[in-house]
Structure 1
Amino acid sequence: MEQYLYFGNLGLGERQFQIANFIGLALHPSHDREIRHNALEALPFPENSIPKIQSQDVFEHLPFEKLPFILDEIYRVLKPAGVFRLSVPDYRSPLLKKRSIFDDRQRVIGDLMMGASATYDSATAQTKVSFSQDGNAHLWFPKYELILDLIVKSDIRKCATIKFYQCFTNDENFLTEPIPENEMFVLRSLPHDNRSNGKPISIVVDFVK
């Protein structure tokens, strides 16, 4: 049976757990369908060996500058014609903006629901943001342009097809195309999650090698 990879803990209640091929890549494995793996390290699999890989709401918890290496590794182990599905929160979503902290240029610098806290520094007249150290904090705040930046900095750009299904492409326009389930269900996507009244709350993109 071919293995599929799922970044992070593979929860017993997740749809992917019902597919026997999936194994979780977990920093702290909790059952026998997970293996111990630090996402910042090389994947323990040979080149061109994995047909399906999914990362769902994981990469925003990792330092942005480390992600090109992770994408290089995904490209390395992905089989020709294999699919990597990436989904991360979209910080142009009205839902996520409501819980975010912005700087004076209206850039998101913290998510109050996901491990950020803010203090005001009267000496510099600026807001300072700190993040919880428990691994649950969002360390960067995905937008379409940032995903494009990661793509061009990594080998994942060599994929035969790169297809965005759902995301805001700018402050006004967005994509809400149906996502082929392909055994890689995305929980926080339309039509499963409509908390933003028909607008995307996640960036969902497929990479086909």
Structure 2
Amino acid sequence: MKHTWRKKLWKLRDTLTHKLTFEEAAQFNVLRLYAGDIPASTFYENEGFVGLSIRQADWNTIQHDITRPYPLADNTVSLYQAEDVLEHIPYDRLVDVLNEIYRVLKPGCRFRLSVPDYRCDVYADRCQRGPDGAIVFDPGGGGWYRDGTLGGGAHLWFPTYEQVVALAEKSNFTKWEFYHYYDENGTSVTKPIDYSLGYVDRTPDHDPRVKDPYRALSIVVDFIK
């Protein structure tokens, strides 16, 4: 008989040196995955999210590179979230990333994605640009830019609404809903977000940089299987 996800995770938490594995996580009756190190928020602990980190493993985090396949069966994940992670992955690898998320999601379940929207002034104004005016480096995103090369964990592409739509259309997902973004004319779109399905920090509901005037900061979209 399977344990509930909450009892199982709390049991692992009490063993401070324990490192969670996919085999253990697959036994949860509700499996929620978070790409990256889980933020220090009671929301993620209360909802039983399992982090996927390239750097560490602990009682609620599995060390895993999300550009690689998951050792999970099809249709096993109830919710998947990635906030400010996919911009650190080369754009041409992201369709495969989305398709693997699609594979492990249960039918009717969702992948909540948020990435910085580079039409927002907060990001656009701080960026380094090339001779043609295109963004080549965001120093606020970390990493470095030398001789035309990005590294050290820098943002490797600079998301816009159209780029994310293009990824969606090339992926196995056929249904998605955008909540926050800037359209092709630079107009901010902010539809209500149900944060009980995945808390997003970088929105005007939580980030003071875009509260007044109230405007999008990130591209926030749910992909639904």
What amino acid maps onto 1:44 in structure 2? Answer: P
Q: Cα distance 1:171–1:102, how it changes in 2: closer, same or farther (>3 A)?
A: farther
Partner of 2:11: none
Pairwise CA distance, 1:149: 1.3
Alignment check: 8 A CA contact 1:87 1:186 kept: yes
Q: Which runs of 4+ in 1 moved over 6 A?
A: none
Q: Cα distance 1:175–1:48, how it changes in 2: closer, same or farther (>3 A)?
A: same
Partner of 2:37: 9
RMSD: 1.7
So what's the TM-score if we normalise by structure 1? Answer: 0.86
Taking CA–CA contacts closer than 8 Å with sequence separation of 6 or more, which of the two structures ends up with the larger relative contact order?
A: 1
So what's the TM-score if we normalise by structure 2? Answer: 0.80
Structure 2's unaligned 5+ residue stretches are 1-28
Pairwise CA distance, 1:140: 0.6
Paired residue for 2:178, among 160, 164, 171? 164
Partner of 1:109: 136
Task: State percent identity of aligned pairs.
Answer: 34
Alignment check: 8 A CA contact 2:179 2:193 kept: yes
Q: Cα distance 1:37–1:173, how it changes in 2: closer, same or farther (>3 A)?
A: same
Structure 1's unaligned 5+ residue stretches are 120-127
Q: For residues 111 and 165 of structure 1, what CA distance do their matches in structure 2 show?
A: 24
Q: For residues 202 and 73 of structure 1, what CA distance do their matches in structure 2 show?
A: 23
Aligned ranges for residues 66-145 of structure 1 at < 5 Å? 66-115=93-142, 117=144, 128-133=147-152, 135=153, 137-145=154-162
Bigger share in strand: 1
Partner of 1:124: none
Q: For residues 41 and 167 of structure 2, what CA distance do their matches in structure 1 show?
A: 28
Secondary structure at the aligned position of 1:151 is classed as helix
